[in-house]
Amino acid sequence: MADNFLERQYAAYLEQKSGTAHKRQSISVFHQFHTDISDIDLPTRFTNPFDYQPHRLCQLAAGETQAYIASQPPLHRELEEGKMFGVLVVKRMDGKVGFLSAFSGTLLGQMVLPYFVPPIYDQTQSKGYFRQEEHQISLLHRQYVELLRSEPYLQAKAELENKRRERDEYLQAMRESFRQAKEKRHRLRADGQLTPEEEASLMRESQFQKAEIKRQEQRLAMETGPYEEALNRLDEQASLLQKAYNQRSMQLQQWLFEQYELQNAKGEQKPLLEVHPAAPSGTGDCAAPKLLQYAFLHHMQPLCMAEFWWGKGNHEQGHYYPSCQAKCKPLLRFMLQGLEVDDPYSAQRSQMLIRDQELEILFEDDYFIAINKPAGLLSVPGHAPIDNAVDRLKRQRTGMEVYAIHRLDMDTSGILLFAKDTTTLSLMQQAFEQRKVHKQYIALLEARPAQDQGVISLPLAPNYEEHPLQMVDLTHGHQAITRYRVIDDNNSKCDSNNGPVRVIFEPQTGRTHQLRVHASHRLGLHCPICGDTLYGKTDSRLFLHASRLSFEHPYTRQTITIHCKETF
């Protein structure tokens, strides 16, 4: 793999030197390691950017990049809200091994800064078309906002609202008066003593009132009309400004994407929109595509890569994260063509954790069967043909149909409950939805929380740009509540240097990754679960175990409590 890559890159280098290729920026952001790396084996396959354990070289490169960031005071305030950075360990054509660094998006309002690789396209050029058009678009937005805040607009809106309120109050009073008159007519008719003339009079009164309501509605509509027309004229102006803003924004985004030309390890080039037709705003500006593009254009062999967060925000400073799905996945699929890419680390770890052994049966009757699911085993079949608890249980109990009532994350171990028929499945799923099933988990945290017990209430929502991550969303998230209690116990096997601390979690709701986010988030415990590759640090496994499950049997009405001791 390495020889083929270098051969292709050397051919491209000769082509460039002969003047038949575009002249590239000279190598000025290649950093040699300050630490001696001669005793570290180079990786044989490139990092799977969406599921990986950072290589030792990447950890060293990240450490040096973080030290550089710390030495630059202008970056400190900028990074208060946090930003994703990336490092790419590369081998140059002269055989030297070093690393490149990049940041996602902009930093200090710029896309080109010392130490970091340049963007695929620099949209921050002050005199460039993008900046000029962006300025014009900003003026449109400002005009739109100023119009909605202007005195004529606010006055027209207030006058119309007052007129409508007066109309509604007048009509409401009239309807109430006519309603009372109608009740009076009903009482007179109920007495049964009306003469024909009186009955005819009541009929005329009823008809008059019905017609009068319509006449008054039409009259008041004519009086309100000029006020509505005045506001509509201003709304039309605002709509035109908004339409122009949206149209020019879309055209500018289209133009911007057309400036991005991606290259892969084979030396092939494609426009960004051909690789990712539905690209959202910001595509191509993340750290990973920047790093690979620079390496390919400068004939460097990528060896391994990692991305880390620095600063505050929804992520943990210094922790490693996968590349985003919405923006980067289609791009990286193309750019990595020509490299041998590693298998997903979760699959590698699963193979180390699970063996084709019999599942431990914790409980069974005519309706249920509960197992102790090993860490690293999927709960249910997925898209890929990967071993899972359902298929393994069916192999173990030939001829038995089982239906997963709930799920555990692949990396979580412990009690997993199955139904033996669809009726029981439906009844128990309702019990889970109605929160009639009580669950308890044991976990090891990287550090001790500020309080030894309490309740975490942080609403959660999917992070669509960084699937499968979940995020705290205080505005649109779904309610998620977790009770926790620290257990003073030092008999653990977690490799973390900062802990570990054993806790009991009792989730009151069942959101995806609820315990993992509530443990790691700064508004929660701010102490990730040991081995949480998504929200914490990599370890031998995820130290989270479903230890107790309690529910009322839907047929016998007995309380069923299932226990399963953790092994860490």
Catalytic positions are 409
Burial 7-21 (b: 16+ CB within 10 A, else e): ebbeebbeebeeeee
Query: Alpha-carbon distance 8 to 266, whole Å?
Result: 7
Query: What's the Cα-to-Cα distance from 84 to each of 10, 64, 87, 475, 535, rounded to whole Å?
Result: 32, 15, 10, 24, 14
Query: Alpha-carbon distance 550 to 556, whole Å?
Result: 14
**Burial (CB count within 10 angstroms: exposed 0-12, middle 13-18, buried 19+), residue 58:** buried
Rg (CA), the chain: 33
Query: Alpha-carbon distance 159 to 97, whole Å?
Result: 72
Query: Alpha-carbon distance 436 to 2, whole Å?
Result: 57
Which amino acid appears at position 296 of this protein? F
In DSSP notation, 316-344 reads: -TT-EEPPPTTTTHHHHHHHTTTS-BPPP
- Answer for the pair 111, 118: CB distance below 8 angstroms, yes or no: yes
Query: What's the Cα-to-Cα distance from 343 to each of 3, 346, 534, 538, 568, rounded to whole Å?
Result: 21, 9, 17, 16, 27
